[in-house]
Amino acid sequence: MALIVMKFGGTSVADVARIKSVAARVKREVEAGNQVAVVVSAMAGATNQLVAWAREASPLHDAREYDVVVASGEQVTVGLLAIALQDLGISARSWLGWQLPVRTTGAHGSARIEGIETATLLHRLGEGQVAVVAGFQGLGPDNRVTTLGRGGSDTSAVALAAALKADRCDIYTDVEGVYTADPRIVARARKIARITYEEMLELASQGAKVLQTRSVELAMNHAVRVQVLSSFTDAPGTLVVDEDEIVEKAVVSGITYSSDEARLTLRNVADRPGIAAQVFGGLAEANVNVDMIVQSSSTDGRSTDMTFTVGRADLPRALDVLQGLRGEVGYASVSSDDNVVKVSVIGVGMRSHAGVAQSMFRALADKGINIQTISTSEIKISVLIAAEYTELAVRALHTAYGLDAA
């Protein structure tokens, strides 16, 4: 007997027929003798509708009220799933964020879970009752409804699994697992059977949409065994585990890309100490996250060029900040380009293999793709390229690292 957390996303609970098939899947786990807590998202499309209404009511809406509105979506699906489970003869009840409660910070719209009270829940699970828990929502310090931000239900599920010390956290989604690359782009992409937390974290933060980054961090910190699998088939999924559970480590496990990028270049910036601090300090104050940074070495000892990337949505704000800093920093001009994409190769095997970066640069050069900026971490190499080369680059790298399915 195991205690498992099952999480179902919006497409898995998109209508009552699908909620009933989720109930049937939960029933199988119960009949296999497991204790089950289920975390659900809102029906696909419901959250978008609620967000649109909040924006229509006021573009500058109060985040506390926004949370009240959008949290209603999960309230609908927990009730319906509990009803569907009972209809199959399974004892079940719904739990809203404020009922458990799932305690969070007061950062409305992007709250972080601080703790989940589990005593009652564990007691009910022990009696054989299935707990149907609303994902994405919690209770803030002032007794108000909070939400965790987009994709937050993954985080709810992993946090619940950690709090319950669950044996497994199964994330059911509309794909069959984690792939070596986006199968819509790379026909020969393969499903990965096991992947390390570190790799999954890089994949998630570099554009793979299968799991929310924060949920992978949480899983890693609490050693929660996460499985990503499809709610529409019975195929085995991808297991996200600790590195020592993986014997054969791939040099490169996956290729990913992110279109959510914009590049900024400051020309002829004075080459003196403190300039970078002024520029990036100013951006940080305006809540603009800077990702890749490249500063060319000064040719004349007096000025340099500075290139960096920001989230595409932050570009107008970043340009504003830089305009304001012009007098202080003293650059000649600023240029920007949001027609760029960041392509990353990720793999824990990189640590022990030389030449991984070189293979990447050669594969891209062979296709005539110009690299604008490079950044690396221990298990990741990212390059910024023109957006039009996205598919070509991802496919070339997939082949170059020997990831293509036979």
Q: Which residues bind a copy of itself (CB under 8 A)?
A: 16, 19-20, 50, 53-54, 56-58, 60-62, 64-69, 71-73, 75-76, 78-84, 86-87, 93-94, 96, 98-99, 143-145
290, 310 in Cβ contact below 8 A? yes
Our CB check for a copy of itself shows the closer of 80 and 171 to be 80
- 168-173 and 3-8 strand pairing: parallel
- For the beta sheet containing 113-116, the strands, ordered from the edge strand earlier in sequence to the opposite edge, are 113-116, 102-104, 137-139, 145-147
- Min dist CB 53 to a copy of itself, Å, is 6
Helix (H) or strand (E) holding 285: helix 275-285
Our CB check for a copy of itself shows the closer of 66 and 257 to be 66
64, 108 in Cβ contact below 8 A? yes
Our CB check for a copy of itself shows the closer of 18 and 263 to be 18
- Min dist CB 50 to a copy of itself, Å, is 7
CB atoms closer than 10 angstroms to residue 335: 10
- Min dist CB 105 to a copy of itself, Å, is 19
Our CB check for a copy of itself shows the closer of 30 and 211 to be 30
CB atoms closer than 10 angstroms to residue 152: 27
Angle, helices 275-285/315-329, rounded to nearest 10 degrees: 140
- Min dist CB 162 to a copy of itself, Å, is 24
- Min dist CB 212 to a copy of itself, Å, is 23
Rounded CA separation 244/155 (Å): 24
147, 55 in Cβ contact below 8 A? no
- Min dist CB 352 to a copy of itself, Å, is 52
Rounded CA separation 359/350 (Å): 12
* Single-letter code of the amino acid located at 266: L
218, 162 in Cβ contact below 8 A? yes
Our CB check for a copy of itself shows the closer of 16 and 187 to be 16
Our CB check for a copy of itself shows the closer of 80 and 346 to be 80
Rounded CA separation 34/65 (Å): 38
Our CB check for a copy of itself shows the closer of 72 and 303 to be 72
- Min dist CB 205 to a copy of itself, Å, is 31
Phi/psi of residue 298, each to 5°?
-65, 135
Our CB check for a copy of itself shows the closer of 57 and 193 to be 57
Whether residue 101 has a cis bond before it, omega within 30° of 0: yes
Q: What is the distance, to the nearest Å, from the Cα of residue 203 to the centroid of all Cα atoms in its chain? A: 8
- Min dist CB 81 to a copy of itself, Å, is 8
Q: Where are the alpha helices (DSSP H) in 32-137?
A: 46-57, 63-70, 72-87, 119-126
Biggest distance spanned by C-alpha atoms of the chain: 78
Our CB check for a copy of itself shows the closer of 58 and 259 to be 58
DSSP letter (8 states) at residue 217: H
- Min dist CB 59 to a copy of itself, Å, is 8
Our CB check for a copy of itself shows the closer of 143 and 287 to be 143
- Min dist CB 312 to a copy of itself, Å, is 26
Name the one residue in this structure whose structure tokens are 């007794």.
143
